[in-house]
Amino acid sequence: MITKIKFQLFLSLLAIVITTNAQQLPINQGPFKPSEQSLKQYQYPVWFRDAKFGIWAHWGPQAVPRQGDWYARNMYEEGSADYKYHLEHFGHPSKSGYKDVILQWKARKWNPEQLMALYKKAGAKYFVSMASHHDNFFLWNSKIHKWNAVNMGPHKDVVGLWQNAAKKNGLKFGVSEHLAASFTWFQTSHRSDTTGPLKGVPYDGNDSNFQDLYHEKAAPTDNEWLTVNPEWQMKWYRIVKELVDTYHPDLLYSDSQLPFGDIGKSMLANFYNGNMAFNKGQLDAVYTCKQPSGGLWVQDLERGVQDSISPFPWQTDTSIGDWFYRDGQEYKSATDVLRMLVDIVSKNGNLLINIVQTPEGDLEPDMLKTLDDIGSWISANGEGIYGSRPWIKFGERPDHAAVVKAANFNENQLHYTADDIRFTSRGDTIYAFLLDSPNGRITIKSFGKSSGLIKHKIRFVKILGTNEQLQWKQEELGLVIQRPLKLPDWRIIGIKVELEK
């Protein structure tokens, strides 16, 4: 029996091993060292603070079954819907496993340049390609293992082609890595049925011929989101280093907190230094992970938003539907996306949204319509989004509105009305966005004379997207605007308020 003292000793020795290994890692030369003190010199690039809106291709072979997210793991969960689907369409996972799903991913309708032109028209200023999900399948031309999109599946360098299309369209380019969780996430592939005619027959993850895809079997206690295995942590470092040193992305996303302590700090120093060298001394790199940043990186909230103005730039990542293609799924509307965008930008954040692609690589018609609607709104209202900064307060909320605290996965708790107003600013101009179309006159309390927030006289008021002259007056209790006869053809109304200098 392991005593508590012995277990603590084991953890201490493990920490020594990890720290020693981290000190031996190859790191690109530059000013950043793998320490918190050194990483404090990081400065957020202006491009990211100005961009506000990015589009993500969270796309890969897990789209093939058309069953949504986590298929590669869930197909080995005996009795689950994905397990039953796999039995019916592919066969038993002891013989036909995820490796066989990969071979069916051909992406024959994928046209990265055409899609990137659509994303640019929709208003995206940066684009992120998934590089590898938890399935350990690489979408780039990797020398580390054969399970990549150049060797099999579409036989294309997906990351490289996305990057070329992004650069051609003037978008900044990023990659997302979900590998740190892969080592424990994929352990379901090492199981076997507990009942039925194939009870006890190992799934194909146990076959030593495929363990470069499925990983080796983990220790029984290694079952958290991030592995504690030092060898796997070092392997993660080598993989991410190959990725960023090959493609020199502007942004790197990790689907976790900053992984693995000092090894993670080494990865970050390597990324920042490599980016500076590639950009001739200018640091354009953005790293996002799911951990408060303290100014060292960009904190990412998955499907969630902040509840106040953050002192540091941050990012929401979400999807317009499921993370991977799923038959019959419902998508967010353009209004849903734009409400999130305005709310996030008012609080010093950016929105990165996954646009769901079919297994073949194209988009469904309703997705094209949504992108077109987003682009129409942004073309008229973008001056209050791009390059903006938070105002004195992020906005106004209805009386007695429920408080939704900052968190991951809180987006479904957010409900907006015309009394929800969000503010952004650019110099002497303030933008007020009503998150639903008003029925009557508009009153912005924060702009009233008695609020103490408006230090200069209001010179001009305009509703973005229309040239109709407004009747307005700054009263003690608010800026009062008479509703014009015709509002723009969208529900989120942008109001431009110019102050005298």
- Tabulate helix, strand, coil % of the chain (nearest 5): 35, 20, 50
The answer on 174 and 96 residing in a single domain is yes
Residues 341 and 485 in one domain: no
Q: Which of 332, 356, 384 represents a domain boundary (last residue)? A: 384
Confidence of residue 171 (pLDDT cuts 50, 70, 90): very high
Determine the Cα angle at 382 with ends 295 and 297, to 5°: 10
Let me know whether 124 and 227 are in one domain: yes
Beta-strand ranges (E) seen in 62-210 are 126-132, 172-177
Q: State whether 80 and 229 are in the same domain.
A: yes
Structural domain ending residue among the three candidates 384, 406, 431: 384
Q: What is the pLDDT of residue 23?
A: 64
Confidence class of residue 397 from pLDDT cuts 50, 70 and 90?
very high
What is the rounded average pLDDT of the residues 134-157? 97
Backbone angle region of 206, left / alpha / beta, with phi > 0 → left and psi within -120 to 50 → alpha: alpha
Calculate the alpha carbon distances from 466 to 8, 156, 378, 421 in Å.
67, 46, 14, 19
- Tell me: do 103 and 123 sit in the same domain: yes
pLDDT tens digits, one per residue of 247-286: 999 999 999 999 999 999 999 999 999 999 999 999 999 9
Tell me, yes or no, whether 443 and 346 share the same domain: no
Is residue 141 located within the same domain as residue 21? Answer: yes
Write down the pLDDT at residue 21: 56
**Of 384, 403, 436, at which residue does a domain stop?**
384
Answer yes or no: do 287 and 412 share one domain. Answer: no
CA gap 378, 492 in Å, rounded: 11
Q: Answer whether 110's CB lies under 8 Å from 360's CB.
A: yes
Q: Is residue 340 part of a domain?
A: yes
In a domain, 390, yes or no: no
pLDDT confidence tier of residue 15, bands split at 50, 70 and 90: very low
Closest CA to 16 of 198, 337, 230, 246: 230
> What gap in Å lies between CA 122 and CA 378, rounded to an integer?
7
Which two tokens mark 168?
């051609």
**CATH code where residue 436 lies:** 2.60.40.1180
- Number of domains, the chain: 2
Strands (E) in 260-326, as ranges, are 286-289, 298-302, 314-319
Average pLDDT over residues 458-464: 97
If asked whether residues 373 and 402 sit together in one domain, one would say no
Pull the structure tokens for residue 473. Answer: 């007056």
Give a yes or no: residue 379 inside a domain. Answer: yes
Rounded to an integer, what distance in angstroms lies between the CA atom of residue 392 and that of residue 465?
25
pLDDT score of 2 = 47
Range of the domain at 429: 395-499
* 61 pLDDT above the threshold of 50: yes
Query: Which CATH number fits the domain that encloses residue 35?
Result: 3.20.20.80
Does 54 map to a domain? yes
Give the pair of three-digit tokens for residue 343.
């709310």
On whether both 294 and 405 belong to a single domain, the answer is no
Say whether both 113 and 178 belong to one domain. yes
The mean pLDDT of 339-358, rounded to a whole number, is 98
